[in-house]
DNA sequence: ACTCTATATAGATGGTCATCTATATAGGGG
DNA sequence: CCCCTATATAGATGACCATCTATATAGAGT
């Protein structure tokens, strides 16, 4: 017997994922993700790809790390960064579920409205 | 003979996609996408799912329509909205490419750096 | 023509954000 | 112990954004 347990998307699902998406909603941070997709990089190496200053990169890396898309590792003075691919995949999965007409949609308890 | 033509990601790719992602970086707009994933809805029906005012919804729908994630259709006084699934899929594909270590990465012209 | 409803526009407000400069911290090498 | 380099923090600034109220537009029914 298979019991299908529908996943109800909560307010917090939208909020938490919006936070992560907000972290991605910046051209520089998209480029950083692109760079890290090739493997681990240290901060000073990443910085070479950009025109902005070091404190600005520090800010961007903090944003990406805080939302879990990126992980960091300290080695002496150097900070190495890695993609957290699990969390990246989770975000993409969330988006794919969002745009797909699934059983767990917010609308399933209502008839198709045409504003009668 | 197969000639592989690498796709170089341009500054404008990051910028354009960041704009679309920015449109998604809001809990209310994620919820709107979720609602529209079940099919066409009119503005007044979407509004019922939220606590904010009608002008605020009008603003959100404009943001989603301007970036191409949503399409609208006028019928008398009513505005009907639909997901533009092609563009939604394009965005997700962009993200999947971004986090994948592909040949067309920004880093491929440089050796793996360890900041020597 | 009048009124009701659906939607858009204008302008204001309080909050957040990317970026900067200046400065602090902290590890490594001579 | 001092200096150089890597990184973080603080504080400021200008831009943008979500939301509101007030008002305009515009279609539909009586």
| Confidence class for position B93, pLDDT limits 50, 70, 90 | very high
C-beta separation of A34 from A58 below 8 A: no
Average the pLDDT over B6-34 and give the result.
Answer: 92
Nearest to A99, CA basis, from B115, B42, B92: B92
The answer to whether the Cα torsion of B23, B71, B88, B36 is positive or negative is positive
What is the C-alpha to C-alpha distance for residues A26 and A38, in angstroms, rounded to an integer?
A: 20
- Indicate yes or no: CB of A18 within 8 angstroms of CB of B11: no
For the segment B39-83, what is each residue's pLDDT rounded down to a tens digit?
Answer: 999 999 999 999 999 999 999 999 999 999 999 999 999 999 999
Give the class (CATH, top level) of B12-99: mainly alpha
Q: Is the CB of A76 under 7 A from strand D?
A: no
3-state secondary structure of A73: strand
- Indicate yes or no: CB of B35 within 8 angstroms of CB of A89: no
C-beta separation of A41 from A35 below 8 A: yes
For the segment A30-57, what is each residue's pLDDT rounded down to a tens digit?
Answer: 999 999 999 999 999 999 999 999 999 9
Q: From chain B, pick out residues whose CB is under 8 angstroms from the CB of A92.
A: 92, 95-96, 99
Residue A4 C-alpha, separation from nearest chain B C-alpha, in angstroms: 19
| Confidence class for position A8, pLDDT limits 50, 70, 90 | confident
Q: Is the CB of A33 under 7 A from strand D?
A: no
3-state secondary structure of A74: strand
What fold does the segment set A40-99 form as a domain? Arc Repressor Mutant, subunit A (1.10.10)
**ipTM of this complex:** 0.89
């Amino acid at each position: 017997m298979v019991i299908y347990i529908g996943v109800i998307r909560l307010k917090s699902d939208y909020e938490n994922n919006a936070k992560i998406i907000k972290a991605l909603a910046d051209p520089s941070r998209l480029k950083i993700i692109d760079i890290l997709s090739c493997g681990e990089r240290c901060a000073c190496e990443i910085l070479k790809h950009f025109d902005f200053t070091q404190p600005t990169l520090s800010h961007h890396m903090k944003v990406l790390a805080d939302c879990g898309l990126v992980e960091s590792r300290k080695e002496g003075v150097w900070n190495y960064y890695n993609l957290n691919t699990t969390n990246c995949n989770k975000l993409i999965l969330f988006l794919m579920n969002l745009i797909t007409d699934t059983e767990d949609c917010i609308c399933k308890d209502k008839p198709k409205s045409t504003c009668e």
